[in-house]
Each structure stands twice: as structure tokens, then as C-alpha cells.
DNA sequence: TCTGAAAGATCAGGTTT
DNA sequence: AAACCTGATCTTTCAGA
């Protein structure tokens, strides 16, 4: 589909702008990075095609959606399990916001978001029922302190249009 | 600044569209939710003003940015520490992608992203130096299995325009 | 020097805001 | 009505034959 993923400095600056505001116009981006709008569009299209950009999304206040309960779940499996097997077992559980295999005693750490404690309990039960889980250990989130996008860059508060 | 945050079903459907693609036009959103473009714009503006929408952002492949090393860090503090104090102590450490106080033995769980193991080590040292941390326990991520936005809705792969 | 690929600028038309 | 998106076309640069 497309070649390797080589980002020059202009690409990174475009990503910085788009990370702060995914709805920035090509003109706005161009005036920051010093390019014309069509030139910016070509680069953005290329970043999308090369999968460097995974998508454009909106950060919604979880409280506004009624998703107020959250937990970190450490999962311990029986025997050796391939990461791909775990990914396939869990990808259909929408309450799982992130999952990763880790070093240490646990095999994987999941982050689970639910509407209330009952909902959370059902989600964790479903996780434990999924293949080769021996046991799990959950801690419930009390306060969210920091929540960023993962590039050291946060979305910026939208301005009035 | 603005009234309370009351979302009707149309608002939620607008948020669903914008979560899947933050660059959707008002027309596209309108054709999904059955509203005219100006009507959609008024609602989106209201959602932004009421802070139900925190921002629009772009999901970048971390590997493309060279941020390939990641860890979960459990932090144990001495004595009782207010969440706001922790938030203030850590907000200036950009490697921290998320942080939350939790139930259980640990006081907080952080997720830290860095460019390599050395960078990760320096970030963790900085965290441990920040006020009232007694000790910490880190596990390093081996494979990322799932990564979603946190509303049970993922951004969708952008289409060619 | 010539040629082709890559990257940017300008412009026009249809669309979105 | 004004701003924006986007395809078409033209220019520049640069590497390799």
C-alpha cells in the first residue's frame, strides 16, 4: 500500500498541530509550518496512508457520557499464552480501553471503563471467563489525575469558530 | 460560562460520529443524525462550550514518533496525600500519559511512555523524586494489545478523500 | 545536459461553514 | 457571503544516466 514511515521535521510539526486540534484547517496548519494548504493536505494524506496517523478523534468528558467507573485489572494466565491470542480474546469486550502484556508476575494489564460498579463487575467477569485466565487482580480508580493523548501533547481547548 | 451538561440522544449520536472521526463535516454528521448542518454546528458549539467535548485530537502511531517504550508504574506514598497534590506534582512530567489514584496497596497507578529504556528510567526517577513518594513498582509493556479512546468507541480508519 | 521523480505554489470549481 | 477543500496544472529542485 505504501512505503516505510519516514517522518521529516515538517511532518512532526503537522502532527503536533493536528494532535492539539484535529479539526484545524489545512490553511491553519500551513500557516504554522510554512506551507500552502494543498501541500499540507498532501502530507496529511500521506501520513494517513502510511498509518502514521491512526485516526482523528474527539475527547469527550467521561462524566458527560455517564462512564464514571474505572479499574486497572492485572491478569494472570495459566501456562504460556501468545499476545495475539489475548488480543483476539479481548477485542470484543468494549469496556476494555487498553490492554498490554507486561513484565513481572502478571501476564497483562487492562484498563476497564464502565458506567457503574455493577457494569464493571460484569465486564471483569467476562474477562476472567475468556480463555486461559487463571486469576485477576483489580484496583478501582478513585481520582483521575492526568489524561493525555500519548505523545506528550494534549488536545487544546477548542476556540469558538 | 454555560449551563449544566444535559445531553439528549441526538447529542450522544453526534459525539459518536465525532469520536469516530473528529474531522467529519457538519453535513456528514447531520446526514447521520438527521439534522441540517447549521443545526449540528449549533449543537457541537454547545457541547464544546459546556465542556462535554474536551478537544479534538489525532491518534498517532507511537512507533512513528519513536516512542516505543512504555511502563505501568505503581506508586506508594508516605502518609496521606491529597489527589490534587499528586496531580500538581506530576503534571509537568510529559512522559506521564495517564495517572490515577486507586484502591489497594498502591496509592496511584501511572502510565509512562518514553523513547527508550534510558529515557523511561529517567522519567521514573523524576517521578520518585517528586514529593512524598515512598517507593514504586514498575512493569514494562511487552506488547500493546488494545488501545481505544475510552468511550467504547474507537476512531475509524480515515478514508481517502 | 537531459530526464524523471518529488515537493511546493497557484488557481478554479464546488462544498462547507 | 466568506472560508474551505481539492483536483489540475505549472515551477523548482535534485539525482542519476
Q: The domain spanning residue A97 has which CATH number?
A: 3.30.70.920
Distance CA A142, CA A35 (A): 45
Angstrom distance, B38 CA to C16 C1': 10
- Kindly state whether B18 is in contact with chain A, defined as any CB-CB distance less than 8 angstroms: yes
Inter-residue contact B107 to B77 (CB < 8 Å): yes
Inter-residue contact A24 to A161 (CB < 8 Å): no
Q: What is the CA radius of gyration of chain B?
A: 20
More confident residue, A46 or A64: A46
Q: Is the CB of A38 under 7 A from strand C?
A: yes
Same domain, A79 and A113: yes
- Kindly state whether B52 is in contact with chain A, defined as any CB-CB distance less than 8 angstroms: yes
Same domain, A68 and A136: yes
- C-alpha cell recorded at residue A133: 485466565
Handedness of CA B134, B144, B99, A129 (dihedral sign): negative
Q: Residue B79: which residues within 8 A CB-CB, separation 6 or more?
A: B132
Classified as helix, coil or strand, B114 is strand
How many contacts, defined by CB atoms under 8 Å, are there between A and B?
251
Residue B17 included in any domain: yes
pLDDT of residue B151: 59
Same domain, B118 and B69: yes
Angstrom distance, A119 CA to D14 C1': 61
Residue A1 included in any domain: no
Residue A139's pLDDT band (boundaries 50, 70, 90)?
Answer: very high
Residues of A in contact with B83 (CB under 8 A): 142-143, 145
Please indicate whether, in this complex, the C-beta atoms of B58 and A53 are within 8 angstroms of each other: yes
pLDDT of residue A104: 97
Residue A4 included in any domain: no
Q: Which nucleotides of D are covered by protein (CB under 7 A)?
A: 3-8
Phi, psi of A32 (to 5 degrees): -80, -45
- Each residue's pLDDT tens digit, A73-115: 999 999 999 999 999 999 889 899 999 999 999 999 999 999 9
- Each residue's pLDDT tens digit, A52-63: 999 999 998 888
For residue B12, give the nearest of A22, A93, A64, A10 by alpha carbon: A64
* pLDDT over 70 percentage in chain A: 91
Tally of domains within chain B = 2
More confident residue, B157 or A41: A41
Looking at the DSSP assignment, which residues form a beta bridge with residue A135? A76
Inter-residue contact A53 to A47 (CB < 8 Å): yes
Residue A88 included in any domain: yes
Residues of B in contact with A102 (CB under 8 A): 72, 139-142
* pTM listed for this prediction: 0.83
Distance CA B88, CA A145 (A): 9
Same domain, A76 and A23: no
- Kindly state whether B64 is in contact with chain A, defined as any CB-CB distance less than 8 angstroms: yes
Handedness of CA A62, A66, A69, A73 (dihedral sign): negative
First to last CA, chain B: 37
- State the DSSP H helix or E strand holding residue B13, giving kind and residue range, or none if neither: helix B9-20
Q: CB B8: neighbour CB atoms within 10 A?
A: 9
- Each residue's pLDDT tens digit, B151-160: 556 677 787 6
Residue B114 belongs to domain spanning? 62-142
Amino acid at each position: 500500500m505504501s512505503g516505510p514511515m519516514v517522518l521529516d521535521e515538517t511532518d512532526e510539526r503537522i502532527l503536533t498541530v493536528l494532535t492539539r486540534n484535529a479539526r484545524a484547517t489545512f490553511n491553519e496548519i500551513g500557516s504554522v509550518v510554512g506551507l500552502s494548504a494543498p501541500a499540507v493536505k498532501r502530507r496529511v494524506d500521506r501520513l494517513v496512508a502510511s498509518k502514521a496517523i491512526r485516526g482523528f478523534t474527539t475527547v469527550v468528558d467521561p462524566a458527560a457520557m455517564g462512564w464514571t467507573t474505572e479499574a486497572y485489572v492485572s491478569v494472570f494466565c495459566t501456562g504460556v499464552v501468545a499476545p495475539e491470542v489475548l488480543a483476539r480474546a479481548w477485542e470484543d469486550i468494549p469496556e476494555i480501553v487498553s490492554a498490554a502484556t507486561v513484565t513481572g508476575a502478571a501476564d497483562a494489564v487492562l484498563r476497564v471503563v464502565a458506567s457503574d460498579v455493577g457494569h464493571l463487575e460484569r465486564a471483569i467477569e467476562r474477562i476472567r471467563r475468556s480463555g486461559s485466565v487463571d486469576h485477576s487482580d483489580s484496583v478501582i480508580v478513585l481520582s483521575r489525575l492526568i489524561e493525555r493523548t500519548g505523545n506528550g501533547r494534549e488536545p487544546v481547548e477548542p476556540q469558538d469558530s
